[in-house]
């Protein structure tokens, strides 16, 4: 069996339905079971009372409908024999003269559990208490054709790889949904069999409730509701389906469809478990007893061949396009507020920023300018220092000088070629040997200049390096690795590029043109001589790999602790049109090797604001021994 990396394939299905026609409904359910099996779905859920239809009203009291429902339930159960799938269907059942609205769990020809609805609506167009008894009962089992079956709202269903629980429609709308306690007791997936009608505004509110509940209890939430075949008399049903995971909607189906519909996606159990183990408040509540029902293995079919349905964003640090403005404004507000606090606290008269014409120093400069404006300081207190060296290109140099001029900061230019040449001669290093010593001598000379200028002008050296460089160790120890405040330390390279592009649009005009050109310039420390045409020869991504890949690796390694194989698997989907598996594996190996071997640099990194949910600060989010091999 192929390693599924903790993914569970689920489906929310809406069959065609004829109210009170159990035989017809059972046949339609079986048709969708076939589709789910073909798609290698592991659990498929159908709507509330899907066998009878939800709107049977007083017909629920009739013996014939009750008997037909049980016959249809048995028919569906038999249909699943030797099928590698778990099926959840809804039907009424009479127990000790009380009628219960139940979800039945079926696998391999057997009903293995029945979960009654706990919270019954009794307002508006729904009068369930007229027909059904709330599921708060001491009845532990019910008798069906296959023997005694566990019965109750306290059931947890345990498979070999995950645990799931069930609530029904109104249960989610209650002040304390059963899914909350089910999740605390161990349920990683929650299925909601529903029959919620449609009125204007309800769709958005329902979606919000589902995503919020999935976030609140760190679970996967699968919701399916009755389709338009239920629409009768005064109410309309839309066939809403949603699959959410920990606050994010993975997929939802089309509503108001005349044909049967099914939405399929994969839920990441390992991701959910990571969040739960980090949430120290997520502990089992000993109050109450929950029974565990063990489900026989589903066989070896689960997700062996078919492509995964869920989408992995190639830039997990970035927001959806619709949230771009708010995201970028938040990033800048956090950075400027943090720098303002440090600037005031240190009583620094000036700020020193090394300006290279690259992405990181550009963002640091823009944040410094916004901070000065926020504090009511003159922009001239910001000293932007260009320090051209052996590999400085006219493109970056021109952009740096012109940007500082337009922003109104104090400009200084201190070439470093002569100083570095003298230093290399002093230590006996050949000038034509363009090795690490040659490169790092330039980086350290630049930092020495900035530190000395800060002393001279009562200033504060603003670091420009970003989180991607810290992860890869792509910094010169005691060179650009050091500063008095690392303003970009909480931002990966992909986010830096994103925010600078946003600011280009905000500024517009010549500043916007310069910023766009900086975004388009290849990322480079410019420490090696230019080519014969005066172009940048040293390109960072040629040496260490694409930053978009490294940021993807970093996100899933730091945020969830995923294995290399799982990260590579997810990247193969996220970048399937850009990098092949060999390239992904190569760059992932480089990321892991560099990440572990460069912890010593992060262990003594300067302060810097945490901006995103992840950080590499050794005082906060990431603490790791410096001398450890890659795992």
CATH number where 174 lies: 3.60.110.10
Q: 105 and 60, same structural domain?
A: yes
**Which whole number is the average pLDDT over 410-414?**
98
Query: Do 290 and 331 belong to one domain?
Result: no
Q: Does residue 593 fall inside a structural domain?
A: no
Residue 204: pLDDT above 70? yes
Q: Please confirm, yes or no, whether 493 is among the known catalytic residues.
A: no
Q: What is the pLDDT of residues 447-469, one digit of tens each?
A: 999 999 999 999 999 999 999 99
Count the neighbouring beta carbons within 10 Å of the beta carbon of residue 32.
Answer: 22
Cα separations in angstroms, 344 against 337, 381, 400: 11, 13, 27
Q: Are residues 222 and 371 in the same domain?
A: no
Q: Is residue 272 part of a domain?
A: yes
| CATH number of the domain where residue 434 is located | 3.40.50.620
Please enumerate in sequence order all residues whose Cβ is within 8 A of that of 558, keeping only pairs 6 or more positions apart, or say none. 614, 616, 621, 622
- Is 202 tagged catalytic? no
* pTM, entire model: 0.90
CA Rg, the chain, in Å? 31
Same-domain pairing of 170 and 48: yes
Report residue 483 as tokens.
Answer: 């500063």
Do 346 and 260 sit in the same domain of this protein? no
pLDDT at 285 over 70: no
In the chain, the number of structural domains is 2
Distance CA 493, CA 519 (A): 11
Residue 62 lies in a domain: yes
Containing domain of residue 413, as a range?
Answer: 323-544+598-602
Q: Are 243 and 345 members of one domain?
A: no
Question: C-alpha angle with apex 98: 94 to 100, nearest 5 degrees?
Answer: 65
pLDDT of 54-103, one tens digit each?
Answer: 999 899 999 999 999 999 999 999 999 999 999 999 999 999 989 999 99
In a domain, 611, yes or no: no
Q: What percent of the chain has pLDDT over 90?
A: 80
In the predicted model, is pLDDT for residue 596 greater than 60?
yes
Q: Which of 22, 48, 167, 566 is catalytic?
A: 48
Asked, for residue 623, whether it belongs to a domain, the answer is no
Domain check: are 69 and 168 in the same one? yes
402 pLDDT higher than 70: yes
pLDDT category of residue 16 using cuts at 50, 70 and 90: very high
Which among 202, 244, 191 has a CA at the least distance from the CA of 42?
191
User: What pLDDT, on the 0 to 100 scale, is given for residue 287?
Assistant: 52
CA distance linking residue 101 with residue 421, whole number of Å? 84
| pLDDT tens per residue across span 295-353 | 987 655 456 656 888 899 999 999 998 999 999 999 999 999 999 999 999 999 999 99
Query: Could you give the count of Cα atoms lying within 13 Å of 67 in the half-sphere of its Cβ?
Result: 3
Please tell me the distance from the alpha carbon of residue 75 to that of residue 351, in angstroms, as a whole number. Answer: 77
User: For 503-546, how does the pLDDT look when each residue is reduced to its tens digit (9 = 90+)?
Assistant: 999 999 999 999 999 999 999 888 888 887 778 778 888 889 99
Query: Does any domain span residue 570?
Result: no
Residue 217: inside a domain: yes
Question: Rounded CA gap, 332 and 498, in Å?
Answer: 12
What is the rounded CA–CA span in Å between residue 519 and residue 568? 28
Reported confidence tier of residue 1, pLDDT bands at 50, 70, 90: very low
How many Å apart are CA 224 and CA 211, to the nearest integer? 14
Are 290 and 327 part of one and the same domain? no
Distance CA 252, CA 185 (A): 27
> What are 93-148's pLDDT values in tens digits?
999 989 999 999 999 999 999 999 999 987 766 678 899 999 988 899 999 998 99
- Same-domain pairing of 191 and 329: no
How is residue 131 written in tokens?
């027909």
Alpha-carbon span 134 to 128, nearest angstrom? 9
Helix 436-456 vs helix 417-426: angle between axes, to the nearest 10 degrees? 120
Of 594, 428, 418, 441, nearest in space to 527 by CA: 441
Looking only at the bridges linking them, the beta strands covering 189-194 and 163-168 are: parallel
In the numeric block, which tokens belong to residue 37? 């099996």
DSSP one-letter string for 406-462: HHT-EEEE---HHHHHHHHHHTT--TT--SHHHHHHHHHHHHHHHHHHHHHTTEEEE
Residue 57 belongs to some domain of the structure:
yes
What single DSSP character describes residue 619? T
344 and 455 assigned to the same domain: yes
Do residues 45 and 105 share a domain?
Answer: yes
The single residue of 169, 198, 219, 328 carrying the catalytic annotation is 169
Give the tokens for residue 424.
């290399």
The SS3 assignment for 253 reads coil
On whether both 115 and 193 belong to a single domain, the answer is yes
Residue 541 appears among annotated catalytic residues = no
Q: Which of 22, 56, 110, 117 is catalytic?
A: 117
pLDDT, mean over the chain: 93
- 437, 429 Cβ separation under 8 angstroms: yes
pLDDT of residue 369: 98
């Amino acid at each position: 069996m192929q390693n599924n990396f903790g993914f569970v394939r689920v489906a929310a299905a809406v069959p065609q339905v004829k109210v009170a026609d159990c035989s017809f409904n059972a046949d339609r359910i079986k048709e969708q079971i076939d589709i789910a099996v073909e798609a290698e779905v592991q659990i498929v859920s159908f709507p509330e009372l899907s066998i009878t239809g939800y709107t049977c009203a007083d017909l629920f009291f009739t013996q014939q409908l009750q008997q037909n429902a049980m016959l249809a339930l048995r028919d569906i159960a038999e249909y699943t024999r030797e099928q590698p799938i778990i099926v959840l269907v809804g039907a009424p059942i009479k127990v000790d003269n009380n009628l219960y609205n139940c979800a039945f769990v079926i696998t391999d020809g057997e009903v293995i559990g029945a979960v009654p609805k706990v919270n019954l609506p009794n307002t508006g167009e729904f009068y369930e208490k007229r027909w059904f008894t709330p599921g708060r009962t001491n009845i532990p089992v019910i008798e069906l054709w296959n023997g005694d079956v566990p019965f109750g709202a306290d059931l947890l269903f345990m498979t070999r790889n995950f645990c799931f629980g069930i609530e029904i429609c109104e249960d989610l709308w209650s002040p304390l949904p059963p899914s909350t306690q089910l999740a605390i007791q161990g349920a990683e997936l929650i299925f909601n069999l529903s029959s919620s009608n449609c009125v204007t505004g309800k769709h958005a509110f329902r979606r919000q409730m589902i995503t919020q509940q999935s976030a609140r209890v760190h679970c996967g939430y699968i919701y399916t509701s009755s389709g338009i075949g239920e629409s009768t008399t005064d109410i309309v049903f839309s066939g809403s389906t949603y699959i959410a995971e920990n606050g994010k909607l993975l997929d939802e189906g089309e509503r108001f469809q005349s044909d049967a519909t099914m939405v399929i996606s994969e839920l990441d159990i390992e991701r959910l478990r990571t969040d739960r183990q980090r949430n120290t408040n997520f502990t089992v509540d000993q109050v109450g007893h929950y029974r565990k029902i063990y489900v026989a293995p589903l066989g070896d079919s689960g997700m062996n061949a078919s492509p995964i349905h869920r989408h992995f964003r190639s830039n997990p640090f970035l927001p959806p396009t619709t949230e771009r403005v708010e995201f970028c404004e938040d990033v800048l507000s956090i950075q400027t507020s943090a720098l303002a606090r440090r600037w005031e606290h240190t009583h620094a008269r000036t700020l020193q920023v090394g300006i290279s014409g690259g992405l990181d120093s550009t963002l640091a400069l823009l944040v410094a300018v916004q901070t000065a404006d926020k504090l009511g300081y003159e922009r001239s207190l910001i000293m932007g220092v260009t320090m051209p060296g052996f590999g400085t290109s006219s493109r970056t140099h021109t952009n740096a000088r012109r940007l500082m001029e337009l922003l109104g900061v104090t400009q200084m230019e201190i070439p470093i070629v002569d100083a570095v040449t003298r230093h290399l001669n002093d230590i006996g290093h050949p000038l034509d040997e363009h090795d690490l010593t040659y490169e790092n001598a330039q980086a350290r000379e630049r930092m020495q200049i900035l530190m000395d200028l800060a002393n001279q002008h009562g200033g504060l050296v603003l670091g420009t390096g970003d989180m991607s460089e810290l992860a890869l160790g792509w910094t010169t120890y005691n060179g650009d690795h050091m500063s008095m405040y690392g303003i970009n330390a909480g931002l990966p390279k992909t986010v830096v590029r994103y925010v600078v592009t946003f600011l280009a649009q905000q500024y517009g005009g010549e500043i916007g043109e310069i910023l766009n050109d900086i975004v388009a310039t290849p990322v480079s420390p410019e420490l090696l001589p230019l080519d014969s045409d005066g172009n940048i020869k040293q390109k960072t991504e040629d040496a260490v790999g694409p930053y978009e890949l490294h940021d993807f690796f970093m996100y899933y390694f730091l945020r969830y602790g995923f294995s290399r194989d799982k990260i590579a698997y997810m990247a193969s989907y996220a970048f399937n049109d850009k990098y092949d598996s060999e390239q992904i594996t190569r760059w992932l190996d480089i990321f892991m090797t560099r990440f572990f071997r460069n912890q010593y640099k992060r262990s003594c990194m300067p302060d810097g604001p945490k901006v995103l949910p992840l950080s590499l600060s050794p005082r906060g989010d990431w603490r790791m021994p410096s001398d450890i091999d890659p795992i």
